[in-house]
């Protein structure tokens, strides 16, 4: 299983990568939505851990672009963001997110969310 970690913080990407690799999940990284979209065009991941607020292209813009993009299989998308109010969560779900993590998180939460969407 391949997970694309999209976050403008290299520290967050590193932490998420460490947690996922302990779960035997391969990881790729992108620092914004634009980079993430290019990465998906090269290799479509199985799941995307997606920050909301990023420069160049934010997480919501990226996900809408991805969901509108014709592709044989759509990856699961888990938002992972400091935006923790119901308006943001509902907007993300309505736009096609599969799960939602409110930062801060820990390995239990990430594992739990991967289980929720049937990846573990």
Partner 1 sequence: MLTADFDIYKDLLKTESGIIITPDKAYLLDSRLTPVARRWGHEDLDAMAAALRGAPDKRLVKEIVEAMTTNETSFFRDTRPFNLFKHAVLPYITQQRQNTRRLKIWCAACSSGQEPYSLSMILKEEAEKHGVFQTDILGTDISEDILEQARTAIYSQFEVQRGLPIQLLMKYFEQTDKKWQLKNDIRKMVRYRYFNLLDSMTMLGTFDIIFCRNVLIYFDEATKRDILGRMSKCLAPDGVLYLGGAETVLGVTDAFKPITGVRGLYAHADSEIALTVSEQADAKSAFMP
17 binds partner 1 (CB under 8 A): no
24 binds partner 1 (CB under 8 A): no
76 binds partner 1 (CB under 8 A): no
Distance CA 103, CA 120 (A): 21
Q: Which of 23, 91, 95, 102 binds partner 1 (CB under 8 A)?
A: 102
106 binds partner 1 (CB under 8 A): yes
Distance CA 96, CA 1 (A): 20
**Residues interacting with partner 1, by CB under 8 A?**
84-86, 89-90, 93, 99-102, 105-106, 108-109, 112-113, 115-118, 120
């Amino acid at each position: 299983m391949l997970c694309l970690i999209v976050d403008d913080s290299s520290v967050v990407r590193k932490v998420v990568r460490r947690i996922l690799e302990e779960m035997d999940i391969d990881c790729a990284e992108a620092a914004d939505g634009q980079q993430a979209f290019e990465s998906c065009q090269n290799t479509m991941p199985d799941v995307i851990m997606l920050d909301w607020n990023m420069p160049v292209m934010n997480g919501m813009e990226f996900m809408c672009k991805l969901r509108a993009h014709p592709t044989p299989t759509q990856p699961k998308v888990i938002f992972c963001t400091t935006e923790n109010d119901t308006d943001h969560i509902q907007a993300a779900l309505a736009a096609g997110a599969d799960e939602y993590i409110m930062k801060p998180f820990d390995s239990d939460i990430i594992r739990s969310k991967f289980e929720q969407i049937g990846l573990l």
